Amino acid sequence: MPTYKLTYFDARAKAEPARYMFELAGLEYEDTRVTRDEWKAMKATTGLGQLPVLEVDGIELPQSGAIERYIGRKHGFYPSDAWECAQIDVVTETVNDFQSFISKVFRAENDEAKAEVIKSFLAEESAKRFSRLEKLLTKNKEGKGWFVGDKISLADIRVFSMLNDNLPPLTGVEVGCLDLKDHPHLAAFMDRFKTEEKISKWIKKRPVTKF
Ligand SMILES: N[C@@H](CCC(=O)N[C@@H](CS)C(=O)NCC(=O)O)C(=O)O
């Protein structure tokens, strides 16, 4: 088994899907969290000057998507069949569509502009985006299982991470408290994922962070 060292800031954000995979697969990994000052000192030494970075036996792999698919392929969350991968990609790309909202929140010039971005997301965009996810979920086993196939895949991990970990602090609610009452299958999926033993254990023991 290779040695894994995941380096990111002290945040869930772009590193949490990789952490969920390590936890679900029961793999040992170093979960390194750097401060902004430490990052300033090390930025130039990383290949792309960005985090997260996964070191596999000391060799660096940047880009969260590449990291997720690499761990996914190696440990059973991203299959080798091209069509099955494409089904997972449809879900993860739908999750990536939330990124435009996230970028707007972080780029807002002041609190007023940020509040406006959030208000417009909640009023106009969020329901449409959650419905897309719910539609994808219900295509498989009437929405009573996982997004693709019979077991947890990268698709489930990315959806859970976005809806449980990433969107709540950006929309002013506690982690895990996004309002999904109009999307019952999605809400039930979130509970199903959260109560998986290894996931609930990790959520209880992981560092509490804002993002
Ligand atoms: N596409 C990259 C984006 C990485 C990225 O934007 N990382 C941010 C943190 S989320 C970063 O490294 N910021 C510090 C910097 O750019 O100096 C990925 O998904 O890994």
Please report the domains of the chain, with CATH numbers, ordered by start residue: 4-75 (3.40.30.10), 82-196 (1.20.1050.10)
Ligand 1 centroid to Cα of residue 185, in Å, is 32
Residue whose CA is at the smallest distance from ligand 1 atom 9? 51
Long-range contacts of 30-37 (CB under 8 A, 24+ apart): 30/3, 30/4, 30/5, 30/6, 31/6, 32/5, 32/6, 32/7, 32/8, 33/7, 33/8, 33/9, 33/207, 34/7, 34/8, 34/9, 34/10, 35/9, 35/10, 36/9
Ligand 1 centroid to Cα of residue 155, in Å, is 21
CB 149 within 8 A of CB 88: no
- pLDDT digit of tens for each residue in the chain (211 aa)? 899 999 999 999 999 999 999 999 999 999 999 999 999 999 999 999 999 999 999 999 999 999 999 999 999 999 999 999 999 999 999 999 999 999 999 999 999 999 999 999 999 999 999 999 999 999 999 999 999 999 999 999 999 999 999 999 999 899 999 999 999 999 999 999 999 999 999 999 999 999 9
DSSP 43: G
Ligand 1 centroid to Cα of residue 120, in Å, is 25
Distance of CA 111 to the CA centre of its chain: 25
* CB of 64 closer than 6 angstroms to any ligand 1 atom: yes
